[in-house]
Amino acid sequence: MDAVRQQTTTERTRSLVEAVREIEYPLADNADLDTLLDKIGDANYVLLGEASHGTSEYYTWRARLSQRLIQEKGFSFIAVEGDWPDCYRLNRYIKGSSDADSAYDILHNFRRWPTWMWANWEVVALAEWLRSYNQRQGDRAPTQQVGFYGLDVYSLHESMAAITDYLTENEPDALEAAKAAYRCFEPYGENGQAYAWSTTMVPETCEQQVIDLLREIRQQARAPQDDGDPEGAFNAEQNAWVVAEAEHYYRTMLRGSAASWNVRDYHMADTLDRLMDHYGPQAKAIVWEHNTHIGDARATDMARANMVNVGQLVRERHMADGVVLVGFGSHRGTVIAGDAWGEPMQVMQVPRARPESWESVLYQTGTADKLLLLDDLRSIEAGRQVRGHRAIGVVYHPEREGGNYVPSVLPNRYDAFLFIEESQALHPLHLEPSSTRPPELYPWGV
Distance CA 30, CA 13 (A): 31
Average pLDDT of the chain to the nearest whole number: 90
Would you call 206 helix, strand, or coil by DSSP? coil
Residue 184, pLDDT score: 83
Q: Tens digit of pLDDT for each residue in 368-382?
A: 999 999 998 988 888
Fold of 1-149+285-446: EreA/ChaN-like  fold (3.40.1660)
Determine the pLDDT at residue 201: 61
What is the pLDDT at residue 171? 81
Question: Around 237, how many Cα atoms within 13 Å sit in the side-chain half-sphere?
Answer: 16
Confidence of residue 257 (pLDDT cuts 50, 70, 90): confident
Q: How far apart are CA 334 and CA 18, in angstroms?
A: 28
Say how many Å lie between the first and final Cα of the chain, rounded.
54
**Selection from 170, 67, 59 nearest residue 119 by Cα:** 59
pLDDT at residue 164 above 60? Answer: yes
Q: Higher confidence at residue 83 or residue 431?
A: 83
pTM score, whole prediction:
0.94
Strand pairing partners for 46?
286, 324
Share of the chain above pLDDT 90, in %: 64
123 vs 50, 58, 110, CA distance in Å? 14, 11, 12
The per-residue pLDDT for range 293-332, each reduced to its tens digit, is 999 999 999 999 999 999 999 999 999 999 999 999 999 9
pLDDT value for 5: 41
- The average pLDDT across 99-110 equals 93
Q: Is residue 203's pLDDT more than 70?
A: no
In which band, very low, low, confident or very high, does the pLDDT at 433 lie, cut at 50, 70 and 90? low
Asked if the model's pLDDT at residue 89 lies above 90, the reply is yes
